[in-house]
A and B are shown apart, each in its own frame.
Chain A
Amino acid sequence: GQQVMQIPQYQHVQEGEDFTTYCNSSTTLSNIQWYKQRPGGHPVFLIQLVKSGEVKKQKRLTFQFGEAKKNSSLHITATQTTDVGTYFCAGPDNYGQNFVFGPGTRLSVLP
């Protein structure tokens, strides 16, 4: 079946450093979504990418969809303690009816 992988599993950074998480799918995706889950909280939608090579920015967050639409990345510039949490990517399953979530990247930011 379809697999969505993310690396790294964990990342510890000093406040002010940059952070990147990578998402890879075993199949070509029609679109990809990113979610953030704060510790003890629930996943919250961040963004959806649809076009090949698409780049979207939300303040210090930059999201990119690969040219082959099989991978994506989330880059955070100058991390802050408010960025702490787990970041998940999700892509449509083979039937296009549900989303398959990656295992997530847990980010800790040391002040």
Chain B
Amino acid sequence: NAGVTQTPKFQVLKTGQSMTLQCAQDMNHEYMSWYRQDPGMGLRLIHYSVGAGITDQGEVPNGYNVSRSTTEDFPLRLLSAAPSQTSVYFCASSYSGRNIQYFGAGTRLSVL
């Protein structure tokens, strides 16, 4: 039972490049979410999904896109990376947004 798997663990991008952060869970959770963590800011919600085919914006959605074609996968896309997107990104899943959140190991992203 792998839980929540995020890839890659580390990534360096140049300004303007695009990339997709992958997130997969094997717990059959309906709810999945993406957070970014910056020093002193805690965890800020980027996008979330309450089930396959349904996504919504969180607190800081600008510059990010998501899709949820299956229950298991919830990729986060950066279309044109900016230095302000340098951060640690965590994917989480849960039975619902109000239940225990299970986090992936994180992706550490640097945008130069």
Q: Which residues of B contact A102 (CB under 8 A)?
A: 42
Residue contact A43 to B101, C-beta cutoff 8 Å: yes
Q: Does A62 contact B (CB under 8 A)?
A: no
Quick one: which of B24-60 are within 8 Å of A by CB? 33, 35, 40-45, 48, 50, 58
Q: Does A66 contact B (CB under 8 A)?
A: no
User: Which of the candidate stretches B14-22, B65-73, B75-83, B103-111 sits at the interface with the other chain?
Assistant: B103-111
Chain A positions near chain B (C-beta within 8 angstroms): 9, 31, 33, 35, 41-45, 48, 88, 90, 92, 96-104
Residue contact B43 to A45, C-beta cutoff 8 Å: no
> For the side of the interface on B, what is the size category?
20 to 34
Residue contact B97 to A44, C-beta cutoff 8 Å: no
Report the minimal beta-carbon distance from A3 to chain B, rounded to whole angstroms.
11
Residue contact B101 to A99, C-beta cutoff 8 Å: yes
Residue contact B41 to A31, C-beta cutoff 8 Å: no
Question: Within the assembled complex, what's the spacing in Å between the Cα atoms of A82 and B40?
Answer: 22
Q: Does B90 contact A (CB under 8 A)?
A: yes
Known: A92-B98, A97-B97, A101-B35. 13 other contacts (CB 8 A): A33-B100, A42-B105, A43-B43, A43-B101, A44-B103, A45-B100, A48-B100, A90-B101, A92-B97, A96-B98, A98-B33, A99-B101, A103-B40
Q: Does B102 contact A (CB under 8 A)?
A: yes
Q: 11 A-B contacts, Cβ less than 8 Å apart?
A: A42-B90, A42-B104, A43-B43, A97-B48, A97-B98, A98-B33, A98-B45, A98-B48, A101-B35, A103-B40, A103-B42
Residue contact B42 to A101, C-beta cutoff 8 Å: yes
Quick one: which of B74-98 are within 8 Å of A by CB? 90, 97-98
Report the minimal beta-carbon distance from B89 to chain A, rounded to whole angstroms.
11
Interface centre among B33, B98, B100 (most CB of A within 10 A): B98
